[in-house]
Copies of this chain bind each other. A is one copy, B any other.
């Protein structure tokens, strides 16, 4: 699903039982013009900047990494992590490309409880 329709659905879902989730009010809280948010939702405009996506995610209560991904973006903080040790992490990621979710999850847990 594209970014625009996704956040529109999400917002309309919130709107259905909370009147403060109109396009205008969300736009105001997020700090952009309603016309611009309208265009984003209808995919007339491409997804906004990372900062704006984060504020939208915050307002709609959605995972920011997921929204960024739907917008075709990778969070700046993740990019930083990779850039610091580029060849190493490049290698890791390319090796994990085809790994099934559960294998990656196992590694996440292993690392989190890791005693190196």
Task: Report A72-106 residues with CB < 8 Å from chain B CB.
Answer: 72-75, 77-79, 81-97, 99-105
Q: How far is the CB of A79 from chain B (nearest CB, A)?
A: 5
Give the number of times this chain occurs in the complex, counting copies: 2
Q: Are A66 and B87 in contact (CB under 8 A)?
A: yes
Contacts of A83 in B (CB 8 A): 69, 72-74
- CB nearest neighbor in B for A97: B81
* Count of interface residues, chain A, beta-carbon cutoff 8 Å: 43
Compute how far the CA of A101 lies from the CA of B85 in the bound complex, rounded to whole angstroms. 9
Q: Are B96 and A111 in contact (CB under 8 A)?
A: yes
Q: Are B74 and A88 in contact (CB under 8 A)?
A: no
Query: Which of the listed residues A69, A77, A88, A103 has the most CB atoms from chain B within 10 Å of its own CB?
Result: A69
Q: Does A65 sit within 8 A of B, measured CB to CB? A: yes
Interface of A toward B, CB cutoff 8 Å: 63, 65-66, 68-69, 72-75, 77-79, 81-97, 99-105, 107-108, 110-112, 114, 116
